[in-house]
Amino acid sequence: MNTFAKNLDAVIAKIEKARIAYSRHHIIQLIAVSKYATACDIKALYECGQRAFGENKVQDLKAKAQTLDELPLQWHMIGTLQENKINALLALKPTLVHSLDSFELALAIQKRCENHNMSLNALLQINAANEPTKSGVKPEVAQETYLKIAKHCPNIKLEGLMTIGANSPETKKIEQSFQITKDIFDGLKPNGARILSMGMSGDFEIAISCGANMLRIGSALFQK
């Protein structure tokens, strides 16, 4: 068994344990974060059964998607999106953008989507840990921003929320940032929110215990 297959099996086993502890009926999707991985690494993980991959930069997503064009991969944009990269991203037709981090960015995307007669699936990013180094809307205006985007940006299909856990050695603080996002998510379920993207290699089990149904895992899958 190759290293990537072992990594994937180990991660899935941990996900399953945390998922069952949370709820046997809970369904979780795994996004393999491939920002430090080569096209060969991605292909190797694909051959182990992984289909969804996430990139932080539009140019990297483009290069890898073109190289691996023959594979039926789902590409997710998970990094900060700059306005001058919107057209390039739309051309790649990503499955989902996790990093819609302001109403202003939503308006810019809406304008480009209208011009190209396209739509885009996205998650609203919440800065639940309230850290200056992180992008995202403040929790207290998240619901209002979500509904405003839904109303004014018809070409953006909002699917739910994304957050990055608190950058802290304290489990309690990480848990708190995930729980804040989960509470906002629950409030938005009547408005069609169905995806809660939380949890990375170091904290995905905590994220699952707080209700995450989409995980963004990189180093735990791609370590050699």
User: What amino acid occupies position 56?
Assistant: N
Chain segment 134-191, per-residue pLDDT in tens? 999 999 999 999 999 999 999 999 999 999 999 999 999 999 999 999 999 999 999 9
The residue with tokens 């409030």 is: 187
Q: Answer yes or no: are the C-beta atoms of 125 and 100 closer than 8 Å.
A: yes
Alpha-carbon span 2 to 45, nearest angstrom: 10
172 CB-near residues (< 8 Å, 6+ apart): none
Question: CB-hemisphere CA count at 13 Å for 59?
Answer: 2
- Tokens matching residue 130: 């309230």
Domain ranges in the chain are: 3-222
The three-state secondary structure class of 64 is helix
| pLDDT score at 1 | 59
- The single-letter DSSP state of residue 1 is -
Enter the CATH code of domain 3-222: 3.20.20.10
Alpha-carbon span 101 to 9, nearest angstrom: 33
Low-confidence ranges of the chain (pLDDT < 50): none
